[in-house]
Structure 1
Amino acid sequence: MQRFDVVIVGGGVIGSSAAYFLSANSDFKGSVAVIEKDPTYAEAATPRSAGGVRLQFSTAENVLISAFGAAFIKSADEYLSVGNEGAGIEFREQGYLFLATGAGLKTLLTNQRLQHELGAATQLLNPPELQDNFPWLNTADLAGGSFGPVNEGWTDPYSLLQAFKRKARSQGVTYLNDTVTGIVQEGHHVTGVALASGESIACGHVINAAGIKGRTIAAMAGIDLPVFPRKRFIYVFDCRDEIERVPLTIDPTGVWFRPEGPQFIAGVSPEEHDDPDNEDFELDYRLFEELIWPTLAHRVPAFEAIKLVRAWAGHYDYNAFDQNVIVGFAPGFDNLLLANGFSGHGLQQSPAIGRALSELVTFGQYRTLDLRRFGYDRLATGAALKEVNVV
């Protein structure tokens, strides 16, 4: 039977980040294995995301998590280069722009006070300032907007994932193409994992970074996670008019859009009553036709004559409790860790969460960002950490 000091279930951007930070930690002397069922990542959530990075959150921990993520991505070559090969990660620092009508302006003000306290450079813009900065924008029904020009934008998700994986492997991490079918435990101590191949692996720690399968993995240890697969669509469209300096823009309706090369992408999170658990990739154009396109045409006059080119579907590992990550030791266990329920924020949070998991394994506690409020205990006490700006 093989044995590794740490087994990470899931080799997506979270699992691979944890593998990188563990293997890069001079205080960690152990071995690491990552169990990934699909090394092509054809159906993984990471490559199907929009790759956004923003500091505009309403929860302090989320602001700090993304601040570290942005700094890490911008300096990726320093950390993730292998030999003479750079990380190959580009960060498009074009900002996030949250728009608000009168009802939402107070929320932007409150959020911005927190963001400024934590070092973010967000700017509150009134309608004339919005018009000056973004002349393509219809501001007639807006009360203002919050713009983050620094450490906000987007990157290529697949490039970041592959850079983490490539660097982790160069540092001795083993990637196994298999599926975890069981968690072996003695009381509340995990001793190993069973695999679909029929093999078992003994281990010292297990990290559950299984994305939309995180609930299934947790249930193997008798843990109930309120994390469910929720399908999201990204629509790609052409605009015949050229518009410049377009940040990732979030309309008051929740519809968002941003440039993608010479084209644009857009999406929206559906209402809770219209958001069932779903693991398929079947496309639905109803949201685009009924909500997204009319909203785009209203907000950006140049978008009145756009052409839908294609679309794709991906999934959130959606935390139905409060839409924030559940990270830390699993209840009753001293060597089983959770990193689940990112609800669409996994890519930008992956550097900080990977670092945090490496600290918990190595030291038994957080050494940099204190993420204890994101622990499983809040589920039992009902202490939800509701994030206002859910995109």
Structure 2
Amino acid sequence: MPPVCESADVVICGGAAIGSSVACHLAADPGFSGRVVVIEKDPTYRFSASALSAASIRQQFSSPVNIRISLHGIAFLRHVGEHLAVDGEVPAIDLHEGGYLYVAGEAGAPVLAANQKLQATEGADIALCDPAALKRRFPWLNVEDLACGTFGVSGEGWFDGWALLQAFRRKARSLGVAYRQGEVARYLTEAGRVTGVELADGSRIACGAVVNASGTHGARLAATAGVAIPVRSMKRYVFSFTCKDDIEGCPLLIDTTGAWCRPEGQRTAEGRLFIGSCSPLAPEQDVAWIETDPAVEDVDWGFFEEVVWPALAHRIPAFERIRPGRAWAGPYDMCGLDHNAIIGPAVGLPNLYLANGFSGHGLQQAPAVGRGLAEHIAHGGYRTLDLADLGHERVVAGRPLAEANII
């Protein structure tokens, strides 16, 4: 048996936005005084969803827990200096509250209206607009086949996801969290508890609790402790393009087809830069994400030409005259049960904490999830925001948490 080379009170498997947020919040919790070790396979985060994400935040969900998570998230981002400044240096995350705009035809209108009513009840600043109101606010928008739209007047937009990830890491380190480069191969269990982790090099770290924040590898790692979670990897594309026409005040637009776009950066002589894609991909385009295979970085430009561009050009006619730019591919750790994250203690292993299957929402949910799991570890339960609706129990029971607004 390989010897135990060190020990920690909490080992966090995965050091991207979720794992580093948990580490940061745990180390900052006055009720916790233990040692935290974060194990990260690739400190460059080259293949991390946190680094490759479009980095946006919205309250336009259809489940209260997701709305509350994002309301906390936007408050955190607005005051990021209060939470993540180190030695007086405030991270620059470039938060831009440009809003989300969901649009719907006759069939989808009742869903958007019901969602907006719930969002408003929860305190989100979301407006329900008829086609005339949409045209007044967004004169470049084709509303001929629309029945309504919902627009995030405030509290929604986009930010620098890489900067947020690095800010969580830097703050965690400043609070004494240790980061180790390595790959966790399996969990060590005994008498219904995780007792440690074994790394790919054979070394072991004993621990009192462990957090699975391993992204697209989360299901494989959970299985080493006998815990099944329906998380799979999906490949997603992000395309960039420029448009010379004025598309003033463009929010993050989600079309009826699932295609989306948003502006990126300032207008230049070549035009305004946008990024966009379509979500979810068709099933035949889902692929396993294998970090060692360079082919996963390949981008299918046919998907842009045949699916994304036509949909966006229909909704914004000026996009018929765009100039395509660069593109990249990235992974989603998709929860196959309901496209919602699985958060909290694993059923049957109470000191194994899951933070998996974020389905593209990980960056925006990182502040609330980090705080919630830190509270659960330090105090035995959630204190400020109950995340139990996203718990592993629903997975074991086969009880999906319905979410209408999936992109």
Q: TM-score range by the shorter chain?
A: over 0.9
Matches within 5 A, 1:344-359: 344-359=360-375
Q: Which residue does the alignment assign to 1:264? A: 274
Distance 2:317 2:350 in 1: 56
Q: Distance in 2 between matches of 1:6 and 1:130?
A: 50
How far apart are residue 272 of structure 1 and its match?
4.8
Whole-Å Cα distance in 1 between the matches of residues 286 and 139 of structure 2?
Answer: 38
2:160 equivalent to 1:156: yes
**CA-CA distance at 1:275 after TM superposition:** 4.0
Distance 2:245 2:48 in 1: 34
- Counterpart for residue 325 of structure 2: 309
Which residue is 2:65 aligned to?
Answer: 61
CA distance in 1, matches of 2:164, 2:277: 22
| Inter-partner Cα distance in structure 1 for 2:280 and 2:263 | 22
User: Which of the numbers 342, 346, 355 marks the counterpart of 1:339?
Assistant: 355
In structure 1, how many angstroms separate the alpha carbons of the residues matched to 2:92 and 2:208?
Answer: 33
Contact in 2 for aligned 1:228/1:277 (Cα 8 Å): no
- Structure 1 position 197, deviation (Å): 2.9
Task: Name the TM-score, length of structure 2 as normaliser.
Answer: 0.94
Partner SS, residue 349 of structure 2: coil
How far apart are the structure 1 equivalents of 2:85 and 2:346? 33
Give yes or no for the alignment of 1:211 onto 2:234: no
1:122 corresponds to which residue? 126
Determine if the alignment matches structure 1 residue 186 to structure 2 residue 202. no
Tell me, yes or no, if the aligned pair for 1:10 and 1:211 is still in contact at 8 Å: yes
Counterpart selection for 1:97 from 89, 96, 101:
101
Instruction: From 230, 233, 249, give the equivalent of 2:234.
Output: 230
Aligned residue type for 2:253:
T
- Give the superposition deviation at 1:256: 0.3
* Contact 1:231/1:315 (<8 A) preserved: yes
1:18 maps to a residue whose letter is V
In the TM superposition, residue 302 of structure 1 has moved relative to its aligned partner by 1.0
Q: CA deviation at 1:248?
A: 0.2
Question: Cα deviations across residues 320-348 of structure 1 (Å, max 9, x unaligned)?
Answer: 01100111111111211101000000010
Q: How does 1:278-297 map to 2 (within 5 A)?
A: 278-279=288-289, 280-297=296-313
Counterpart amino acid of residue 318 in structure 1: M
Report the residue type matching 2:342 in the other structure: I
| Separation of aligned partners in 2, 1:48 and 1:61 | 25
Q: CA-atom RMSD, angstroms?
A: 1.0
Structure 2: distance between partners of 1:316 and 1:168? 25
* Aligned match of 2:293: none
Change in CA separation of 1:88 and 1:271 when aligned onto 2, cut-off 3 Å:
closer
SS in 2 for 1:109: helix
Runs of at least 5 residues in structure 2 that lack an aligned partner in the other structure: 268-272, 290-295
Which residue pairs with 1:176 in the alignment?
A: 180
Distance in structure 2 (CA, Å) of the matches to 1:380 and 1:250: 32
Q: CA deviation at 1:373?
A: 1.6
**Equivalent in the alignment of 2:381:** 365
Q: How far apart, CA to CA, are the structure 2 residues paired with 1:272 and 1:326?
A: 23
Would you say the 8 A contact 1:240–1:306 is kept in 2? yes
Moved more, 292-301 or 154-163: 292-301
Matches within 5 A, 1:3-14: 3-14=7-18
SS in 2 for 1:295: helix
Aligned amino acid, residue 309 of structure 1: G
Deviation at 1:271, TM superposition (A): 4.7
